[in-house]
Amino acid sequence: MNINKYRLTEIHEQIVMYLNTNGFSKTTIHTYDCFLRNCYYCFLSPLKISYEDLLHKYLQLNPNCKKAKVISMLGRIQYFDINNELPTKHNSFFIQNENILSSEFQMIIDNYIRVRRNNGIKESTIWTESVSGGTFFAYFQNRGIYTLSDINESDVLDLFLNEDGVLKLTYSYMKSVRSVLKANIGSDKFQPNSIQLVISYLPALKQIRKNIQYLTVNEIKAINLVLIGNTNLSKRDKAIGLLALKYGLRSSDIINLSLFSVDLDKEIINVYQQKTGDPYTLKLIPIVGNAIYDYVTEERPKSKETTLFLRKTPPYKALDSKSAYSISIAIINESKVRTEGINRKGFHLFRHNLATHLLSEGIKIPIISSILGHTSPNSTEKYLSSDFVHLRKCSLDVSIFSKEKEVLYEH
């Protein structure tokens, strides 16, 4: 699909109008506005150019920009040009284009996308991994390498390590690249074992997990008090806070609940996980059900929107992730807990708290995984490091050691 400066001007006006009409934030509108204005400098003539050429020209004129963000932004603009609306998911039309990758590398990306979609993998995951795979192959093309058989181990290590042998890229990036390659194992379109050979070149990186922060008993009491008591919090924020605290729901799942998700008669909540795409049902706790009922009957704005929780000011649209985080901060500030800046905040902390509490009560990991909506029990195992109740049982009694100074103390 081709575009010229005149058409880009039309799209610019239409996107700004679209963002304003649909209640997007001023920051988002400003981001699109500035980006599109910068795109004008890519046109040196009235002739049409492809979006891929526009991408290359933009990156050439703006060498210090973040390539992934430019790819994403232009992908969304092209999507708007085709569909007259902005996509709701990440979209990129460039990483999957033969003008950027060689035919063999592009075949790997295309086959990966086909396999992962057939396996029901979420589109945002496919997008993230395909972009990583695309940048991986683009790196080799910049070195004059256009086929798998020409990739050697030193080239791969140069990508991941600097001259001092220090890691430049992350475990998650390596994992995404590995996923793209593994999806092509067994394909007869490449030389035998070429995929496995490149996979073997990837460095054996260890996944580094952050320490799990948890809420203390006193912090939980303080948060509970502000969520059920007479405080400055709105009924909406109290209901959202209780959903996060009692069920450990992800903020994305809370803000995507609809009016039909909560069945007060059957006393259930039907949750559709945005991260995994899997639905599951929760038993409605009376304190949560009452909070939701109070919000809907007394405070929720009148709107045609079916989303359960809405913005407080016009236009009355669904909340976004930033709004959810702001609500979590308001709850924590009202509770007067975790006031130090180094402490983690946000609803994911409530999720951590539920997981560690269930572990301390002896609940098995597969059951906790189902409660938290994890697709794999491995996702729950990271909480084991904060299960102090059971970790204490694994500690050794120091009385079995000699009490000589050099044993128990440093010199």
Q: Is the alpha carbon torsion for 328, 334, 335, 341 positive or negative?
A: positive
pTM here?
A: 0.55
Report the distance separating Cα 159 and Cα 179, nearest Å: 17
271, 288 Cβ separation under 8 angstroms: no
3-state secondary structure of 263: strand
Structure tokens at 91: 């979209």
Q: Are residues 137 and 228 in the same domain?
A: no
Q: Answer yes or no: is 207 within a domain.
A: no
Note whether residue 185 is domain-resident.
yes
**Judgement on whether residues 124 and 196 belong to the same structural domain of the protein:** yes
Per-residue pLDDT of the chain (411 residues; tens, 9 = 90+): 678 888 889 999 999 988 888 778 888 899 999 999 999 888 877 778 888 788 888 888 888 888 878 888 888 888 888 777 777 644 444 444 444 678 889 899 989 989 988 887 777 788 788 888 988 998 898 888 989 989 999 989 889 888 777 777 888 889 999 999 999 998 878 777 889 999 999 987 766 555 666 778 898 899 999 999 888 999 999 999 999 999 888 888 999 999 999 998 999 999 887 766 678 888 999 999 999 999 999 999 998 899 999 999 888 888 887 888 899 999 999 999 877 665 666 788 888 777 777 777 677 777 667 667 666 555 555 555 554 444 455 555 656 655 555 555 554
Residue 211 domain flag? no
Q: What is the pLDDT of residue 279?
A: 82
Is the domain of 227 the same as that of 183?
no
Within-domain flag for 319:
yes
If 0-12 CB within 10 Å is exposed, 13-18 middle and 19+ buried, where does residue 319 land? Answer: buried
Is 408 inside a domain boundary? no
**pLDDT for the residue 250:** 86
Are 27 and 165 found together in one domain? Answer: yes
CATH number, position 271: 1.10.443.10
Judgement on whether residues 259 and 181 belong to the same structural domain of the protein: no
Question: Distances from the Cα of 329 to the Cαs of 233, 256, 319, 338, in angstroms?
Answer: 11, 19, 15, 10
Task: Please indicate, yes or no, whether residues 296 and 172 belong to a single structural domain of this protein.
Answer: no
Amino acid at 361: E
Range of the domain at 271: 217-392
| Cβ contact 81:2 at 8 Å | no
Q: What is the Cα–Cα distance from 68 to 239, expressed in whole angstroms? A: 37
Indicate whether 240 and 293 sit together in one domain.
yes
At 157 the three-state DSSP class reads: helix
Pair 186, 319 in one domain: no
Burial of residue 217 (CB within 10 Å: 0-12, 13-18, 19+) is: exposed
| Domain-located, residue 158 | yes
Give Cα separations from 269 to 38, 110, 247, 370, 376 (angstroms). 46, 38, 11, 15, 22
Burial class of 213 by CB neighbour count within 10 A (0 to 12, 13 to 18, 19+):
middle
Q: Among 91, 176, 76, 94, which Cα is nearest to 133's?
A: 176
Domain count along the chain: 2
User: Which are the catalytic amino acids?
Assistant: 250, 275, 348, 351, 374, 383
According to DSSP, the residues that pair with 231 across neighbouring strands are none
For residues 194 and 223, state if they share a domain: no
| Co-location of 169 and 228 in the same domain | no
Q: How high is the pLDDT of residue 406? A: 56
72 domain residue, yes or no: yes
Q: What are φ and ψ of residue 2, in 5° steps?
A: -110, 160
402, part of any domain: no
**Last residue in a domain, options 168, 201, 234:** 201
pLDDT of residue 178: 93
Contact 236, 300 (CB under 8 A): yes
Last residue of a domain, one of 201, 232, 264: 201
Same domain, 178 and 30: yes
In this structure, the answer to whether residues 174 and 291 fall within a common structural domain is no
